[in-house]
Chain A
Amino acid sequence: MAIVAQSSKFSTYGRPILAWGVGLLFFFPIFWMILTSFKTDADAVKPEHLIFFTPTLENYLNMTQNYDYWRFARNSVITAVSATVFTLFVSIPAAYAMAFNPTRRTKDVLMWMLSTKMLPAAAVLYPMIFLAKGIGLYDTHILVIAVLSLINLPIAIWMLFTYFKEIPKDIIEAGKMDGVNTWGEIKEILIPLAWGGIASTALLIFIFCWNEAYWTVRLTTVDAATLSKLIEGNRAPEGLFFGRLSAVSTAAVGPIVVLGWFCQKQLVQGLTFGAVK
């Protein structure tokens, strides 16, 4: 009885406290970044202005006036949205084929796809640069979209494969019996049934695309440069410009944090799909 009572107490008080503690711990760096973005560069490094300071919008004004924030933001939206759409367009049929029509080699194919994520990006940096310049795609949206799609495809296929595996094969086969073709099976049966999983995959891929920095910094200059490049450009080797760096970082992660906040239900639903059998 005592154990049950203790367990109940933990459920009532302990879990919420633990959850809030973990939540605050994860949120603290973001809170600190937002707080610092309203400090001048001088105040940002002064211990006496750690909490109490005169807030300023100077860093945000500087960011929009001197750094053309909206150009970077527009590029981020174009590349992240397009890459997510393209990734889903390829990964849904691929995961469908592997989940409902597996062959002897399906597992090997899945492992091979995952193994491409194990290659260090730096190993193919210069070949990628030469290739991009050779075909005239360096610093274009098409190149960034292609790269973002390719690096995220393995994860998307793996996630969707896991979700699709949870759907009874009989439902798909019943559709077949009714004369539905493959495209109809995907569109009319699979997508509505696995909508939660597809939405969470799309959201995660979008977040990965939005935050990707290694390639977007190195394969762009002006025309296709994303917010990652704006942040990178505000790192200074000589000088402490933490105020303006925080403002740029806040403005870069802001949209994705807001999106995540509004879609958290779908995100959690999708991520826990099939977790309890």
Chain B
Amino acid sequence: MEAAYIKRKADGRIHIKSGSKGDQAVRWTIITLAVLTVVAFLFFNYAGLELGPAIKETAYNVKVMFLEPALNHFDLGEAIYQVGVTLGLAFLATIIGAIIAFFLALMAAANLAPVWVSRTVRVFVAIIRAVPTVLWVLIFAIAAGLGSEAAVLGMLFHSIAYLVKAFSEAFEEVDKGIFEALQSTGANWWHIIRSGVLPSTFTYLLSWVFLRFEINFGVAVAMGAAAGAGGIGFELFMASGFYFDLREVGFITYAILIIAVLLEVLSTRLKKRYLPAASN
């Protein structure tokens, strides 16, 4: 009997650690990641790297960036306008994404749709998510031409994928009693959504949308720089890639930082108020 629950080592000592499957998985994950990291450093391409001077130079660059910000190629009004463009791109992608995601999430929620529909939507969303946003934007840029259309459409995909997941989880948590009560009054599917599901999840959905808006602002900056989508991101790219003007880079970085911190503060407040349970 004893052997069944007390594991002993070869010399008779008792194992102090439980060594469950979970612990082992944790250990193996850590070991694998550590080994891969070491391999990565052997594998890297170090072409043209001189570590010492590079670090010194970067430290100097960062100092210039953050301590002497200035605008040289455009004025403050233009900077605010460009930030507005970036916010606009993020807002459009979020709002259109939220509307589409709402309907897709109704189809993806296990308690509102047949199993095969929800499974199909989920696979579809997983594939969309796997393509990086920048590739979506660049692919759309070929078809639609460089401009806000390509940027918004490209950013739309990940917004939809993210929100479908969040929304469908919210829908699945709706109390079953609400459905039964509404069904017993003879309400059809759409009635149930409109007067049962929507009112009880609305604030929840709203805070997820705001959270996504915060993410989309960062994405919009990146798309401006990498995919020529305009806005403050593009100015950032020009300032560092074409003019090599670190003071301007510093100024733009501060502008982005201020907006990002403002959005973060707002969304943490919303999250605390409406999403007490959600951790990710």
- Chains A and B bind each other: no
